[in-house]
Structure 1
Amino acid sequence: MQKIFVSFLLAGLLCGTAQAQAPVRYSLAFPNAAHHEAQVTVVFSDLKSGSLQVRMARSSPGRYALHEFAKNVYAVKATDSKGKVLTISRPDPSGWDVAGHDGTVRFSYTLFGDRTDGTYAGIDERHAHLNIPATLAYARGLEERPAQVQFELPAGWQVATQLRPETAPNTYFAPHLQHLMDSPISLGAQQVRTWQEQGKTIELAVLHEGTAAELDTYADQTKKIVREASAVFGELPAFDFGRYTFIANYLPQTGGDGMEHRNSTSLTSARSLRGQEAIDNLGTVSHEFFHAWNVERIRPKSLEPFDFDRANQSEALWFAEGFTLYYGDLLLRRAGILTEAQYMQELTTIVNSMVNSPGARLYSPVQMSQQAPFVDAAAAIDPNNRGNTYLSYYTIGGANALALDLLLRQNYKTDLDTYMRTVWRQHGQAQQNFAPQRPYTLPDLQRILGEVARDTAFAGQFFRTHITGHELPNYEELLAPAGLLVRRANPGQPSMGLLDLAYSPQGATIINSTLVGSPLYLAGIDREDVLLKFNGKPIRKQQELQKLLSKQKPGDVVPVEVRSRTGVRTVQVTLAEVPAVEVVPAPTATPEQLAFRMAWLGSKAK
């Protein structure tokens, strides 16, 4: 408890300058929630003369593309302290300049929001799930001021947020804009489960349609995840106000998403808290809670501080997201939530994606990370060739985390847990003004790997080969000491390539680019081409194509009639074996291999 008191004291001292300034005061009401609208008013006071530059964010912490949140703001008005209407101009699509004020601007607007996920705002008669960059306007030059947020709630609604409660009802405090923007809010009939871990409060605030017993079971499983994550780092973070909140919305109108925040996470899904659906939801819980360390406090220098006016690019998302992806599944296995067979399926997904991605052979995890502004929920209408040039930084990072963990365990008598714990101690534990004192760079991550392995040459080689380079790890060799096999998932089964086809009476239309090196790619067939006949037989249904392929074998040369932009032609296609691989336990695993596997996948929580 003494440690928590000290953290409160430090927070108060660090915010002393901001506290001396007039806070930015927000109020939100929902008189037209049936039509997905909120009424937002923000009062800026103690202003200097001149225009006040009010803006909506263009990007959001944890998202790396532009989202232009101002598009859902309308009916904008501004008055001064006496109610005089002020002149508003639009200098850019995301902003409003307010002139002629008397030191106070009362800025009001209507917000439309009907997407319940971690990025946008979702509002209806049942609830409101608010990502703050998509919800609240701010003023340039006032970013260091504290904020007060007050809600006028419909009957039966409660507030779930990481923001600090004030004494006034339904009123909350943020020390500055960065903290406010990183604080999602859920409003509705919350069902809450609360417990203590290491002297800190953990709470699960849920909107769902299931039973109290289902939520109790879900909370018990979440407790196991919290303990396993804490065991990796040796401790929980010093949450800013002594509390961490899982803000969960599991309602039918909800989009599937998870978004990490400093002292909370936004969890959204239409899945229930029953059976396999609950396990799928817990995968997001595990991933996002690991972020309380990795990316929220262990932050790359390239993302600190987050800029709300532009797309934020980082070279380190392979570590921030990819290593977190690896641990998300690993913690579920260690907690006993995933069976060994289920965990093998997760390993299969990550290894299969890595070894069969043309992009992974061309570009490094660093380069994949730098693609995030184009792929992280970014919207575009023109076709792209990412199937051949891109593999998600989640996947490529997670696949390299797996490889590094196994290398450290096999060759250096240490493991990835030790590495993550060392990164935490050097670049995450020390925080200042609700931000890391020492955000890391790529050289920092390489240096710490050399320290943990006690081999700087290995660390340099690993980064040159697999992080800034794009050589694939040898998963067959790496997984063998754990008594696991990497093998073809469908040996002897012929294929024209991994295809996404739309079937019709005219034929099968190829939706996306064919993959480099695949039979159809080598035959000059690409997206929007229509496969008319296979070996002289028409292709109108998936079952027809599967039946025709089953009569062939890898290496067979088959005539395929195709309609492309140049007309109808017949080309010779050389079939290949289905490239998919799988990870399975070896039937003859030795006691040493089983012990290795247990040391890797067994529980670490005390």
Structure 2
Amino acid sequence: MLMRKTAALLLLSLPLALTRPARAQAPVHYNVALPNAVHHEARVTVTFREVPAGPLQVRMARSSPGRYALHEFAKNVYDVTATDSRGRTLTITKPDPSGWDVSGHDGTVTFTYTLFGDRTDGTYVGIDARHAHLNTPATLAYAQSLAQRPAEVQFAGLPAAWKVATQLQPDAAGTTFTAPHLQYLFDSPISLGEQQMRVWQEGGRTIEIMALHDGTSAELDTYTAQTKKIVREAAAVFGGMPTFDFGRYTFIANYLPQTNSDGMEHRNSTSVTSARPLRGAGLLDNLGTVSHEFFHAWNVERLRPQDLEPFDFSRANMSSNLWFAEGFTQYYGELLQRRAGVYATDSMYCAEALSGLVGAMTLSPGAARFSPVHMSQQAPFVDAAAAIDPNNRANTYLSYYYIGGANALALDLELRQRYKTDLDTYMRALWQQFGSQQQNYAPTRPYTIPDLRRVLGEVARDTAFAGRFFRQHILGHQRPDYPKLLAPAGLLVRPLRPGQASLAARLSFNPTDSTATLGATTIGSPLYQAGLDRDDVLLRLDGQRLTSGRSLPELLGKHRPGDVVQAEVRTRTGVRTVPVTLAEEPGLEVVTYEQAKMPVSKAQRKFRAAWLGSRAR
């Protein structure tokens, strides 16, 4: 009798409770336990209180901030139960693959499930006996109807030596971590384990590294010292540090052997993951991710496109602006490493950064056909998206990282040569107009493509130039003249392997029968021109069988570009022999005039230093 009366009073009070602002209502509470971590399982309990009458729709996200394809995180959820405030089992129905409807509750729903995860990166969940790396949309169920409520996360039964690395706000005891609403919660990765920590102040902000790695403290110190330089160079581009929401920014770093290479940007943190250690080539590779992701603290997190605001966790999110959000960040991620001295020389920067951008943009058939805007819109199909059918992306696609980065390079050089300004000035102007003002953990004024074009005209003081650049290179697919643009810096674009004959194709050697299977052939390549395509099998070339994987380069080494050789092939229409005209091995490189043993003028040295030299003070 008393229990029924209490329940009735609770139900009467609910309409009054729900008139309060969402942030004043009962927070959504998460408890995460790892009782079976060795088998990659977590047990997650979500408690929803002050729930309105009617079924509660509980969902797992289908996408994740910074990722644009569907990932269907519900596929790793099972053993689902739900109870009310008195522990009574509630009815659960399954309306769609990503969700559950819970009915019969008394204003409280305790929703519990097992989560499997064994991929440590910025998108998924990696759990084992040594650590747990949790991308929150892949970990935590949610109710969209309660999305504006605060959330709090607790962890149960963690080993004593484990620490929590996250941008979520800890309480005084460091046991409960809070978010103001669902958007912030799902933008906040969490790493659990025996973290090694480094902390410093930069521009009045606290920067911290929380790292899991197998190396030495000295290696982490070297990594930290280089990261500090990158942080300063990034701040110099924009004229200062962002205002981090809780006064700190966290590099959540996971460099354990079971880790997958990735980097994922967040408002006040980044998840950087790799199996490569913090030494040798691994250090350089990992710092490249650090540089790219920290630049995102401005570009895409606060300086944000309108078509990604707010992020929708229930669908794939398409943007026309990833050429800028990711591509310009790709350019700066490499440039900041040169300015910070991570790339110790100009020639190293050319080899590691410029050669890739210029080569991809110049040689990609896709870049000759489609615009950066189009490439951005393809992200839901290519950004870690899964599909089993073949595609023609070898001829239709160039990543928005590369096509955007290559256009950023061209724009920077053109601004410096023709307008006595630079891309840094453009980025600062955009930041001041669209990024510096934030409200409710989001930009007050996200940008559009017309905004980007208008500000370029203001910076260059030439609106006709801005209109032409966007028309030709962003909305269109005209490729920049890189040899002309790079010459004032004393940099040369040249063939990577001049005079070397090639089929310009990927072939897989088949040792069982001394043949080779073709991959996708690209437009204009010798095999494409000869009418050959993927899965065709090369039986003989120039009358000879391939006896090993080395046979083809040895055979081609006897020829020059332009030579015609006979190829005996097995295609879907049968065995035939076709003539193939060999081409020069595709590939370009950017080198300094010094490397090419060409004279370098004082003006060229000055131009290069102004472009690649440090901006930090």
Q: TM-score, normalised by structure 1?
A: 0.96
Tell me how far 1:168 sits from its aligned partner. Answer: 4.1
Give the alignment partner of residue 408 of structure 2, picking from 391, 401, 411: 401
Tell me how far 1:566 sits from its aligned partner. Answer: 1.5
Deviations 1:511-537 (A, max 9, x none): 531000001000011100111111001
Counterparts in 2 of 1:89 and 1:117: CA distance versus 1, 3 Å: same
Tell me how far 1:342 sits from its aligned partner. Answer: 1.7
Give the alignment partner of residue 597 of structure 1, picking from 570, 586, 608: 608
Other-structure match for 2:196: 191
Other-structure match for 1:313: 318
Give the alignment partner of residue 287 of structure 1, picking from 269, 288, 292: 292
| Pair 1:105-2:109 in alignment | yes
The answer (yes or no) to whether the contact 1:117–1:268 under 8 Å persists in 2 is yes
| Pair 1:434-2:434 in alignment | no
Deviations 1:532-551 (A, max 9, x none): 11100102423111111011
Tell me how far 1:221 sits from its aligned partner. Answer: 0.5
Other-structure match for 1:422: 429
Counterparts in 2 of 1:195 and 1:17: CA distance versus 1, 3 Å: farther
1:371-390 aligned within 5 A = 371-390=378-397
Tell me how far 1:166 sits from its aligned partner. Answer: 1.3
The answer (yes or no) to whether the contact 1:43–1:104 under 8 Å persists in 2 is yes
Give the alignment partner of residue 250 of structure 2, picking from 245, 248, 254: 245
Other-structure match for 2:209: 204
Counterparts in 2 of 1:521 and 1:373: CA distance versus 1, 3 Å: same
Query: Matches of 1:52 and 1:569 in 2, distance apart?
Result: 65
The answer (yes or no) to whether the contact 1:494–1:550 under 8 Å persists in 2 is yes
Q: TM-score, normalised by structure 2?
A: 0.95
Other-structure match for 1:459: 466
SS at structure 2 position matched to 1:532: strand
Other-structure match for 2:553: 546
Other-structure match for 2:160: 155
SS at structure 2 position matched to 1:378: coil
Instruction: Indicate the larger mover: 557-566 or 237-246.
Output: 557-566
Tell me how far 1:377 sits from its aligned partner. Answer: 0.1
Deviations 1:417-473 (A, max 9, x none): 000011111010000100000000000000000000000000000000000000000
Query: Matches of 2:294 and 2:116 in 1, distance apart?
Result: 29
1:502-541 aligned within 5 A = 502-541=509-548
The answer (yes or no) to whether the contact 2:510–2:517 under 8 Å persists in 1 is no
Query: Matches of 1:501 and 1:404 in 2, distance apart?
Result: 39
Counterpart AA for 1:494:
A
Give the alignment partner of residue 36 of structure 1, picking from 36, 40, 43: 40
1:57-136 aligned within 5 A = 57-136=61-140
Other-structure match for 2:16: none
Query: Matches of 2:507 and 2:391 in 1, distance apart?
Result: 15
Tell me how far 1:599 sits from its aligned partner. Answer: 0.3
Counterpart AA for 2:117:
G
SS at structure 2 position matched to 1:472: coil
Give the alignment partner of residue 350 of structure 2, picking from 344, 349, 364: 344
Tell me how far 1:500 sits from its aligned partner. Answer: 4.2
Tell me how far 1:77 sits from its aligned partner. Answer: 0.4
1:138-287 aligned within 5 A = 138-152=142-156, 153-287=158-292
| Pair 1:498-2:505 in alignment | yes
Counterpart AA for 1:47:
V
The answer (yes or no) to whether the contact 2:492–2:591 under 8 Å persists in 1 is yes
Query: Matches of 2:174 and 2:522 in 1, distance apart?
Result: 58
Instruction: Indicate the larger mover: 88-97 or 169-178.
Output: 169-178
Query: Matches of 1:320 and 1:581 in 2, distance apart?
Result: 26
Query: Matches of 1:316 and 1:397 in 2, distance apart?
Result: 9
SS at structure 2 position matched to 1:538: coil
Query: Matches of 1:489 and 1:426 in 2, distance apart?
Result: 42
Counterpart AA for 2:516:
T
Other-structure match for 1:6: none
Counterpart AA for 2:607:
F
The answer (yes or no) to whether the contact 1:118–1:257 under 8 Å persists in 2 is yes
SS at structure 1 position matched to 2:254: strand
The answer (yes or no) to whether the contact 2:44–2:113 under 8 Å persists in 1 is yes
The answer (yes or no) to whether the contact 2:562–2:581 under 8 Å persists in 1 is yes
The answer (yes or no) to whether the contact 1:321–1:394 under 8 Å persists in 2 is yes
Query: Matches of 1:394 and 1:380 in 2, distance apart?
Result: 21
Instruction: Indicate the larger mover: 578-587 or 463-472.
Output: 578-587
SS at structure 2 position matched to 1:138: coil
Counterpart AA for 2:59:
R
Deviations 1:540-588 (A, max 9, x none): 4231111110111111110011111111111000111112111011131
Query: Matches of 1:384 and 1:540 in 2, distance apart?
Result: 31
Query: Matches of 1:488 and 1:604 in 2, distance apart?
Result: 32
Other-structure match for 1:327: 332
Counterpart AA for 2:148:
E
The answer (yes or no) to whether the contact 2:518–2:537 under 8 Å persists in 1 is no
SS at structure 1 position matched to 2:550: helix
Counterpart AA for 1:276:
A
Instruction: Indicate the larger mover: 33-42 or 487-496.
Output: 487-496
The answer (yes or no) to whether the contact 1:332–1:338 under 8 Å persists in 2 is yes
The answer (yes or no) to whether the contact 2:66–2:264 under 8 Å persists in 1 is yes
The answer (yes or no) to whether the contact 2:505–2:527 under 8 Å persists in 1 is no
Tell me how far 1:17 sits from its aligned partner. Answer: 3.7
Tell me how far 1:47 sits from its aligned partner. Answer: 1.0
Structure 1 gaps of 5+ residues are: 1-15
Deviations 1:2-57 (A, max 9, x none): xxxxxxxxxxxxxx944311100001010100000001001000111100000000
The answer (yes or no) to whether the contact 2:23–2:148 under 8 Å persists in 1 is no
Give the alignment partner of residue 52 of structure 1, picking from 50, 53, 56: 56
Query: Matches of 1:507 and 1:293 in 2, distance apart?
Result: 54
SS at structure 2 position matched to 1:109: strand
Counterpart AA for 1:180:
L
Counterpart AA for 1:543:
R
The answer (yes or no) to whether the contact 2:515–2:540 under 8 Å persists in 1 is no
Query: Matches of 1:202 and 1:109 in 2, distance apart?
Result: 35
Other-structure match for 1:12: none
Give the alignment partner of residue 484 of structure 2, picking from 464, 473, 477: 477
Structure 2 gaps of 5+ residues are: 1-19
Other-structure match for 2:4: none
Query: Matches of 2:315 and 2:557 in 1, distance apart?
Result: 51
Counterpart AA for 1:233:
F
Tell me how far 1:239 sits from its aligned partner. Answer: 0.3
